[in-house]
Structure formats: structure tokens, C-alpha cells
Amino acid sequence: MLIALRRVIRATDLHSKHLAKTIGLTGPQILLLQTVQHHSDATISKLADEMSLSQPTVTNILGRLEGRGYLYRERSQQDRRKVHVHLSDKGAVALRDAPVPLQDRFTEQFDQLQAWEQSMIIAALQRVAQMMDAQDIDAAPLLIVGNVQADESSEPPIDSNK
């Protein structure tokens, strides 16, 4: 079992390194760009809710992506307190060229399982988390390792700040 867990951790680590090396973006950055693309005119709080990350974490990632020209923020004309996030042309191209995120592949394959298989896997993993005293740790549903707020030179991550 520990070997299987280590393989999962290693697979996510290798995928994150592959993303950073091939397209220069981390897993959380790609996921945020995808979320912005799917929720045009989204606010930062909406993005944070959609990604199950804290607003400060999303704001940090947005700042990095905006600084690199992948997206831009615009204050709402109707409510000046709100800021909307939009994908730039560069961001759209990056998403078009980005490999499929690991969790998307996982979700697609998991959805193809029978309901009883899904329930067994969920129950077993919840039990493993409990055995590791991790049942109360808040984590976003992202298959990434490291710190979500890390800079581009470090490895990407699981947010436990929310």
C-alpha cells in the first residue's frame, strides 16, 4: 500500500515537473486559466470557490499569471468593488497547447468505473487518510504537490490554507 501511495505522489510530482518544463506553467496556474476560460467575467471569489482554494491563494496565482500576460483583471462597471478576470490571447494559446491536467485524466477514468467501484475507492482512500491522521486536513481537489503559492521555480502543490 505504501508503494502505491508513493507511486501516486511520484506521478503527480513528475507531471508537475513536466508541465513546468514544457510550457512554463504550474498545475495550479493551468487550472486557474481553465477556470477563467470556463467562467468568463468571473470574480476572484467565484474562481476561488470553483477551485476550492482560498482567495489569497487565487489572488497570488492571478498576480503571477497577469504579470506574464496570460490574463487580465478589470474592475466592474456596475459595481466598482468587484474585479473580473479575463483570459488574454496569450492565455488562450497556452491552454490550447497545454497537456491535459493529470486530474482531468484521472476524473475521466474514475467516471468510467461502476458506482460500486467508485464507492470502494473513496471509502478506502478516506480510511487511509484517517490512518495517516489526515482526515481533518483541508485540501483542494488538485493532483499537485508542494505549495500552491510557490514561485514558478519551485514545484506546484496542494492548498491546505483554505
Q: How far apart are CA 89 and CA 93, in angstroms?
A: 6
| Stretch 102-106: mean pLDDT | 83
Q: Which domain holds residue 38?
A: 2-131
In this structure, is residue 75 part of a structural domain? yes
- 49 within domain boundaries: yes
pLDDT of residue 151: 43
Residue 109 belongs to a domain: yes
Nearest to 36 by CA among 56, 22, 15, 50: 50
- At 161 the pLDDT is 38
pLDDT of residue 11: 86
Q: What digits encode the pLDDT tens for the residues 22-31?
A: 888 888 888 8
CATH number at residue 120: 1.10.10.10
Answer yes or no: is 161 within a domain.
no
Structural domains in the chain (count):
1
pLDDT, tens digit, for every residue of 46-61? 998 888 888 898 999 9
This model's pTM is above 0.85? no
Q: Is 157 within a domain? A: no
pLDDT above 90 for 109: yes
pLDDT per residue over 121-153, tens digit each? Answer: 999 999 998 998 887 776 666 655 555 444 444
Question: Given this model, what pLDDT does residue 65 score?
Answer: 95
pLDDT tens across 30-41, in order? 889 999 999 877
pLDDT, position 124:
93
Q: How far apart are CA 62 and CA 65, in angstroms?
A: 5
In a domain, 88, yes or no: yes
Span 6-34, average pLDDT:
86
Q: Is residue 90 situated within a structural domain? A: yes
CA–centroid distance for 96 within its chain? 17
pLDDT digits (tens, 9 = 90+) for 48-103: 888 888 889 899 999 999 999 999 998 878 888 888 899 999 999 999 888 877 87
Q: Identify whether 144 is part of a domain.
A: no
**Scanning the structure block, which residue is given the C-alpha cell 475521466?**
108
